Chain A
Amino acid sequence: MIKVNGEEMQWRPGLTVKDILEAKRYIFPMIGVWINDKPIPRDKFETTIVNDGDDVKVIHMICGG
């Protein structure tokens, strides 16, 4: 199990940041991701593996207007 923005999410081996964004349907292009407080560059979302128990923050920048 991992946490995404404070909510529990099922973990599986090989889970990537991109997989999380797809599962959550987070399609906004200006997203910042931190795993256990460590920032993940956007061009590494596809290759960054998330470990069981990780605390993931997916931050959408403000938009609108």
Chain B
Amino acid sequence: MNKMKLLAEWEYEPVKIQRGYAGRTLYVNVGGFSFKEKPVSEDMKEKFIGGRGFGLKLLWDAVKDTTKWNDPENELVISGGPLCGITQYPGSGKCYTVFISPLTEQTYDSNAGGHFGPLLKFSGWDALEIQGKADRDVIVFIDGDNNKVEIYESPFEDVNAFTVTEALHEYFAENEEDKRNISVVSTGKGAENSYWGCLNMSFYDLRRKAPRLKQAGRGGGGTVFRNKKLAAIVVRKRGIGPTSNNPADLSTLQKVGLKLHKEIRDLDDQQNKMRKVGTPHLNEIMNEYHLLPVHNYKFGQHPEADKIHSEVFGKLFTQGIPDGCWHGCSMACAKAVDGFELKTGPLKGKKVTVDGPEYETCAGLGSNIGIFDPEWIIEANFYADHYGIDTISSGTGFAFVCECYELGFLNKDITNGLELKFGSKDDLMELIHRIGRGDDEFARIVGLGVHRMKKIFAEKYGAPFEVMEKIGMEGQGIEVSEYVPKESVAQWGGYFLTLKGPQHDEAWLIFMDRINKQLPTFEDKAEALHYFPNFRLWFSLVGVCKLPWNDIEPADNVIKYKGIEAAKVPEHVQNYVDLFNAVTGKNITKEELIIQSEQVYNFQRVFQLRLGKGTRKDHYIPLRAIGPVFPDEWEARAEYYDNELKATGIDPEGLTTEEKIKKLQEYRLPQWEQLVDAVYKRRGWNKNGIPTIETLERLGIDYPEVVEVVKKHLKPEDEWEE
């Protein structure tokens, strides 16, 4: 690679990390090539903690009420958090991206592993804030060794992820060993051509001699990235060690970490086998419990699902290599397929290392589109990453397209020659390539997502909007992730009463609700939809991964604890409290941990309100998410659904399947409204889903500008009756 043209540079003073914080954030404007250092106040640390919290605070200060995703003032903020970068506890290399999403038109946050978050912090920055739009493709380089930030003109004609990442690891490293001190954020052409743009964050795998890519997949962060004409963001920092985060109490960190390493070593093989197969251990489990999305969530099970069983992927993944995406992660679930020869597309014939597929990809770009071919899924996974396309949104989006095609709403004339039925492997692969190339009008429409496809298919092709409303699996503008929610009332909330749309990172309550029957009342469900979203949000504030929380548990967890308490994995909750205190020197309790999250949860809710969203009308749910829509869905589990109807007091005898479906919908829709009411009450929101002034005061986030937004929307008729 030739020497890149330097467009701007800025030097900064080095800083020593103190108790998990650099104490300042970095602002880069790629429009005007300006740079700034912003201090992190004690109040910012208290109220926003770090990671996603810092991202939201910086974004709040940067945008106007009217800012859209493609306005120059929209930002892409990347931040790790105070625990990000510790090497003692598994899963501590996460960072969060925050931005206004093209899909949801409100704030979105998406996390990734890899080395970017830790290297950014150890370069002296708690967050990176990118604003503005460049007039040509640029590369931002944070040189943590020489304390400077540089902006280069991008030399890449091909901005796709693997091309850019591989070249920049090579360019900025002095030798092979040095490549591990670098992390690259990239996306690809698919992010330009769709709203599904993901961000790839790299780490260099010395054993494989290849960069690995971890995705902040959801919400269209990659689309924002390319809209700013970013080709890459690169950070380099050498000399990272176990004390780089400068914790207040190193011995506690080591002690807590050792305990979990031992649990993983001793128990993972009996529990989820994360070290061998990663998250695809869920493939057969979800199928068995009727939760694996098949054919656009019509069904939860498929006879061919054994072809994508975790054992199949276990054989395809290279075994025996520690697959942690940050130093010290013994859970090591970042599985990869090595030497995979691509069969299609611009890199046909090339042998590559493919990160994943994860469970969500196996389901999204697999069962949900009627494909049960692991090699196809791996190829689709590779190109989705390479083009910078989210595998979850594209999987659910393609599933919607396939159902529309099979219903006759689309045909080959519309799709420009593609037969997009469930299981059409060649044509669905070609659709991925068309999004990557951006040369096909229909592919561009698909890439706008299910929410917009419904409207465009109706207006342009005469497809019936009311049917697509029922089967289009999206909420708040973004596609549902890959679990069938229709049989769990609590999971309706886990998906559709969320801050940013149906992503499973708030609450996954299907077992607790549906199988364990631990949430019999709406108040029970609301309590779970208060605790779990707040508990899980905390990971995003501090920079740790969710998986070591409950994808491994102490051997005696279900002996010492009972019921919902056991599901919280109390000893691991205590680990997080201890870790936070050991790093920061503070002394929080497990109850205060939840309050930290509640502060940010409610702030983000008000932020959505400020951007014109964030009220009850935005918490809508498609009919397919609450039950069968078409007779074949009912008939695939006729006995089960007949019993569901009987449980509501309706005798299914003598009813047609269509009548049964209608009766069940008539029963379940009011249940949804009851759930919404119960959850809003528990969260301290009014009937319209707006946090009350009392809630803001209780959480100490009653900043004048926050209160002002809320006051504009409070109405007496939305108050709860005593």
Q: Which residues of A does B touch, CB under 8 Å?
A: 5-6, 25-34, 37, 39, 41-42, 57-65
Contact = CB atoms under 8 A, between A and B. Distances in A.
B511 A39 contact: no
A23 to B, nearest CB: 13
A63 B558 contact: no
A61 B550 contact: yes
A58 to B, nearest CB: 7
Given A61-B511, A62-B550, A64-B483, A27 B282 contact: no
Interface in B493-513: 504-505, 508-512
Given A30-B272, A30-B553, A63 B282 contact: yes
12 contacts: A27-B285, A28-B289, A29-B270, A29-B271, A30-B271, A37-B562, A59-B516, A59-B563, A59-B566, A60-B511, A61-B511, A63-B285
A25 B289 CA distance: 8
B508 A65 contact: yes
B510 A64 contact: yes
B393 to A, nearest CB: 16
B567 interface: yes
Given A34-B562, A59-B518, A64-B508, 18 more contacts: A5-B515, A5-B516, A5-B517, A29-B270, A33-B558, A41-B559, A42-B270, A58-B516, A59-B567, A60-B512, A62-B508, A62-B509, A62-B567, A63-B285, A63-B508, A63-B550, A65-B508, A65-B536
B284 interface: yes
Nearest to A27: B288
A26 B636 CA distance: 20
The 4 A-B residue pairs with the shortest CB-CB distance in the complex, in nearest-first order: A32-B558, A64-B508, A60-B511, A65-B504
Given A5-B517, A28-B511, A65 B270 contact: no
Given A28-B511, A29-B271, A29-B272, A65 B567 contact: no
A47 B614 CA distance: 53
Interface of B: 270-272, 282, 284-285, 288-289, 483, 504-505, 508-512, 515-518, 532, 536, 546, 550-551, 553, 557-559, 562-563, 566-567, 569
B558 A62 contact: no
Contacts of A61: 511, 550, 553, 557-558, 566-567, 569
Contact of A62 (B285, B483, B512, B517): B512
B500 to A, nearest CB: 14
B529 to A, nearest CB: 13
B559 A39 contact: yes
B572 to A, nearest CB: 11
A62 to B, nearest CB: 5
Contacts of B553: 30, 61
A30 B551 CA distance: 9
A31 B553 CA distance: 11
Nearest to A39: B559
A63 B271 contact: no
A46 to B, nearest CB: 14
A25 B566 CA distance: 22
Contacts of B536: 65
Contact of B511 (A34, A42, A62): A62
A39 B558 contact: yes
A42 B270 CA distance: 10
B364 to A, nearest CB: 14
A61 B566 CA distance: 8
B282 to A, nearest CB: 7
Contacts of A57: 516, 563
Contacts of A63: 272, 282, 285, 508, 511, 550-551
A32 B516 CA distance: 10
Interface class of chain A by DSSP = loop
A65 to B, nearest CB: 4
Nearest to A32: B558
A60 B532 CA distance: 16
Nearest to A41: B559
A59 B532 CA distance: 17
Nearest to A24: B515
A29 B558 CA distance: 12
B516 A64 contact: no
A39 B666 CA distance: 40
Most buried by A among B505, B536, B559: B559
A28 B272 CA distance: 9
Contacts of B288: 25, 27
B282 A64 contact: yes
B483 A60 contact: no
A47 B551 CA distance: 26
Most buried by B among A33, A57, A65: A65
B558 A59 contact: yes
Contacts of A64: 282, 483, 504, 508, 510
B545 to A, nearest CB: 11
Contacts of B270: 29, 42
Most buried by B among A26, A32, A58: A32
Given A29-B270, A63-B550, A6 B517 contact: yes
A63 B274 CA distance: 12
A46 B558 CA distance: 17
A61 B515 CA distance: 10
A28 B284 CA distance: 9
Nearest to A34: B562
Nearest to A28: B285
B520 to A, nearest CB: 9
A59 B508 CA distance: 14
A28 B483 CA distance: 15
A7 to B, nearest CB: 8
Nearest to B547: A65
Contacts of B558: 31-33, 39, 42, 59, 61
Contacts of A33: 558
B331 to A, nearest CB: 14
A36 B453 CA distance: 52
Contacts of A34: 562
Contacts of B509: 62
A39 B566 CA distance: 11
A42 to B, nearest CB: 8
A34 B512 CA distance: 15
A40 B505 CA distance: 31
A41 B509 CA distance: 24
A39 B483 CA distance: 30
Contacts of B557: 32, 61
Contacts of A42: 270, 558
A57 B557 CA distance: 15
B642 to A, nearest CB: 16
Contacts of B289: 28
B517 A39 contact: no
Contacts of B272: 29-30, 63
B343 to A, nearest CB: 31
A65 B505 contact: yes
A63 B504 CA distance: 10
Nearest to B270: A29
A55 to B, nearest CB: 12
